[in-house]
A and B are shown apart, each in its own frame.
Chain A
Amino acid sequence: MITTAFSYHKAGTVADALKLLAECGDDAKILAGGHSLIPAMKLRLNQPEHLIDISGISEIRYIRCEGNSLRVGAGATHADIANSSDVQSHMPMLAETAALIGDPAVRNKGTMGGVLAHADPAADYPAALLAADAEVVVQGPGGERIIALENFLLGLFDTDLAENEIIVEVRMNISPSNAKSTYQKFMQPASRYAIVGCAAMVTVDQGRISDAKVAFSSVAEKAFRAREVENALKGQEASEATIKAAVKNAVNGVEVLSDHFASSEYRGHLAKVYAERALKAVI
């Protein structure tokens, strides 16, 4: 497993990384945790001429609350996120998600920014981030752009990130104090990616569901919000019957992925099962 030859550049700052990106042009790839990129390079599926290593940029490795906003630097690792008390208390489903990614080695190297830029449909974060209405902050030569994650994810390994931009932050409002959230995952047994991942954030007020956000990873080409499920929950009594009725709509109109671990029929079924499990955990 030997990559093609490439030049390695270590960026010390975001500005540095953008400059290198501009200089190296189309043949450059950003290296963050490298857990998707390096295997692809070893299989020669990806043959960049330049690797720009941003894993040492300390200015994007942070997790903090600013007022009502939870800010996760693109360089924060999965372990950082899983272990962050800010994330655990203000967006528990995100901490839960991070703790379910890969294994300790992956969690210690892999980053939030890397996952979103790679846009693997099986990645875990997008479900929780969509349910949190997260936004992606990117920086390029023209300055900063803030893009809702739902618009940032375009499809299979495809995002709105321009070739001369990098992700610097993901931000979201902290979850309301009366909301509960969770992420439930059915794992692909070999890679331990998700076959289905479901995030749910629900607020129950006096026995009624006042707000519900439900999103899926790994069910379709890109992660998505299950608005039909949400609508079927909102305003309804917080009961098992409500949940069971709502999850029936989980994959309506969705082109469900199929692979040798799960056909689209089975994956669609699992989406309902995992939506039900997630909702039962928070309602």
Chain B
Amino acid sequence: MANYIGKPVKRVEDKRFITGKGKYTDDIVLPNMSYAYILRSPYAHATINSVDISAAQAMDGVVAIFTGADIAEAGISGVPCGWQVNFKNGDTMKEPPHPLLVKDKSLHVGDGVAVVIAESKEIARDAADLIEVEYDEHDAVSNPADALKDGAPLVHADAPGNLAFDWEIGDKDKTDAAMAAAHHITKLEFVNQRVVPNAIEPRAAIGDYDGSRDHYTLYTSSQNPHLIRLLMCAFVLGLPEHKVRVVSPDVGGGFGSKIFHYAEEALVTWASKQIGRPVKWTADRSEAFLTDAHGRDHVTTAELGLDTEGNFVGLRVNTVANMGAYLSTFAPAVPTYLHGTLLQGLYTTPAIHIDLKAAFTHTNAVDAYRGAGRPEATFLLERLVETAAIEIGMDPAELRIKNFIPPFDGVEEPGYQTQVALQYDSGNYEPVVRKAMEMVGYDDFRREQAAAKAEGRLLGIGFSTYIEACGIAPSAVVGALGARAGLFESSQVRVQPTGKVSVYTGSHSHGQGHETTFAQVVADQFGIALEDVDIVHGDSDAVAFGMGTYGSRSLAVGGSAIVKSCQKVIEKGAKIAAHLLEVSEEDLEFAGGSWTVKGTDKSVGFGDVALTAYVPHNYPEDIEPGLDFSSFYDPKNFTYPFGCHICVVEIDPDTGKVDVKRFVAVDDVGNIINPMIVEGQIHGGVAQGIGQALFEEVLYDDNASLLNGSYMDYTMPRADDLPMFEVGNTVTPCPHNPLGVKGAGEAGCIAATPAVVNAVVDALKDYNVKDIRMPMTPERVWRAMHSNGNGHH
């Protein structure tokens, strides 16, 4: 019975967040704690000739200073990469070491050179200024396409041509043949620019070594504490996992950037043992810009082939993806298995091929950022489709619908096998487009657009449809694709003697509202009140295991693991209830928090059964006391949410400034547990998607130095840049998980970006503008309006 599922229950965690009672890593103060500051290289590519720490070490209050040489001497391996992709010829990807602190060479601005540990963070910061490092600066390269050119400055000696790996998916010959036979080819060359995730809470880590029991605790602002423990213990520090606890308390946003195992986590853990004191490191905003893994950064050429009827016959893509200087935890997976495999989109395109090169550059690492590969795939497809519609003179919505995969529920009808490895679970694509068109009033808009044009105003409308692979992921599948970890999830449901329920989940909430959504699921499973359920996460000592939160996986995978444990509780509870009611289990039904003898009013409540389980005086002989179950859930497939977003813009013809007038998002994320939380996720994602389209871009100078590493210069979208979002949904349940859910965390960020670009191009259709590079700043739009021989209008 659904008392809570499907209802917009207010988030239980918000009381502590709104009243300032959240407890983040930097809020934790341990006795005798020391503070670390990391001296970072100001050069993107430089040889380190010498590091003189003598003056800094002599400063009052400095506890210890460690340099890259100390780390090397201690024999500490670098930070590992968690996903192996092989070259087309089968060779293993180039995986140069990523030391915690560099000894000989800095490979990007922000590479750690030394860590100063002091009695206060002020002293640590001041002492760092006294460290004298002698650098020899070399030429550097930041653009991935440039990095692959002959003669480009080399990032790693053992990665010739700066190629980390090359990769392909799809049938090249079939695609080439399809393109050769195509009636029309739409071709675009574009840059999916690099952006900074910008979680509001900068990363922080505290290492706390307890010599008395040879035990380590790491507090870290992370999306997946167990994964950090696994990587740090097994690959970096060689520590026994049972002697290491990793805690990720409240975390202020991640957007992917806090999935990865960062050098600072291992550094404070190791340093704590060296000095026998807790060591805290907290990034400042400048460090966040320099060292939080960035997102996107693709340079792409893409072609879509169409026949005379407007059917898509082939898709051919060439992409260069920037890896940065080192391979971050999931980096190789992002442009490959999270991008190339999504190129089917919602369409029946029968021949698809992508050729991808991953380049090393003298920049901070690039890894998963909200959507991770799927936004890049969607951008590519939806820009191509919209452009094709213009070129062949067809309505963009109708061209999409014409090429959509027909509906399939994944139960009666099988899943849809794509040309690029994935099998979609269930889908019904046309309704999202029709609903979005109805919400935006598409026909009325075209009239309004024409009327505005007569007044010299430039209105435009842009579509985007998307599919994403969420609920990451079946372990065997990702293992075959190079993942060095499983991607299941664990849960423990502990019914307390009074019938209150503590739930331990390996998913991690850093803004998603799990404490509410998961509690809604559990409360309805047991027919109890929401307040009687507590969700515990983020502590490797409390939670048996977990793979964390990313890839819109928490509810689909973590939630399913919780349901499994709930089912075990209900099964055992039935045995106890049958005993108490002196009937057989088959005579009972469980609903509304009670086991009732069918057809009678004889029943026993959930709380009584729980108490009996812990006070087993009158108890079945053949079962154990207690009511506490764990489960692991490994999904059978990815989940495939989809949707249609429509953006309406107005462009100031004098300045080129784009004003987003309306934004309609219709998403199908399967069943919805909490519509308010889903809507919030869509809102946040759309804001970030619009941010990439209009505002955000990492800029480097010729020496690969970051030019806009502050909020004075890096433009984040703000409330007054955005309209009130209009959100709707359809529901196509996921056929292979118990909740029928698909995931909603990334949808907005995946779909929004191309919708905005398409809208701007539509607004400028009289200016013969085919494409505009993102972010579509006023100057870029103005220049586009005045190129192509348009002159000054």
Contacts and interface: CB of A to CB of B under 8 A. Distances in A.
B725 interface: no
Interface stretch (B263-271, B615-623, B706-714, B740-748): B706-714
Interface string B271-303: 000000000000011100000000000000000
A202 B757 CA distance: 41
Interface stretch (B22-30, B120-128, B168-176, B370-378): B120-128
Interface in B584-619: none
Contact of B713 (A191, A262, A269): A191
B122 A260 contact: no
Interface in B681-727: 695, 699, 707-708, 710-716, 721
Contact of A260 (B121, B707, B782, B783): B707
Give the dominant DSSP class at B's interface. loop
Q: Is the interface on chain A under 10, 10 to 19, 20 to 34, or 35 or more residues?
A: 10 to 19
Nearest to A189: B715
A83 interface: no
B126 A4 contact: yes
A190 B779 contact: no
Contact of A186 (B121, B655, B714): B655
A190 B711 contact: yes
B777 interface: yes
B126 A5 contact: yes
Contacts of A189: 695, 715, 721, 777
Nearest to B120: A2
Contacts of A2: 121-122, 125-126, 284
Interface in B735-793: 777-779, 782-783
Given A43-B286, A261-B777, A191 B122 contact: no
A139 B731 CA distance: 71
Nearest to A44: B129
A269 B782 contact: yes
Nearest to A1: B284
B443 interface: no
B654 interface: yes
Contacts, number: 51
Question: Which residue, A5, A43, A44, A270, has most C-beta atoms of chain B within 10 A?
Answer: A270
Give the dominant DSSP class at A's interface. loop
B122 A273 contact: no
Nearest to A190: B715
A1 B285 contact: yes
B712 A191 contact: yes
A263 B711 CA distance: 20
A266 interface: yes
Nearest to B792: A269
A270 B125 CA distance: 42
Contacts of A1: 284-286
Contacts of B122: 2, 5
A44 B286 CA distance: 12
Contacts of B126: 2, 4-5
A39 B713 CA distance: 13
Contact of B708 (A43, A44, A260, A263): A260
Contacts of A261: 777, 779
B782 A190 contact: no
Contact of A263 (B657, B699, B707, B779): B779
B85 to A, nearest CB: 34
Nearest to A262: B779
B779 to A, nearest CB: 4
24 contacts: A1-B286, A2-B122, A2-B125, A2-B284, A4-B126, A5-B126, A43-B286, A186-B655, A189-B715, A189-B777, A190-B695, A190-B711, A190-B715, A190-B716, A191-B711, A260-B699, A260-B707, A260-B708, A261-B779, A262-B779, A263-B779, A266-B778, A266-B779, A269-B782
Given A262-B779, A270-B655, 13 more contacts: A1-B285, A2-B126, A2-B284, A4-B129, A5-B122, A39-B712, A189-B715, A189-B777, A190-B713, A190-B716, A191-B711, A266-B782, A273-B654
Q: What are the nearest 5 A-B pairs in CB distance?
A: A190-B715, A2-B125, A189-B715, A1-B284, A266-B779
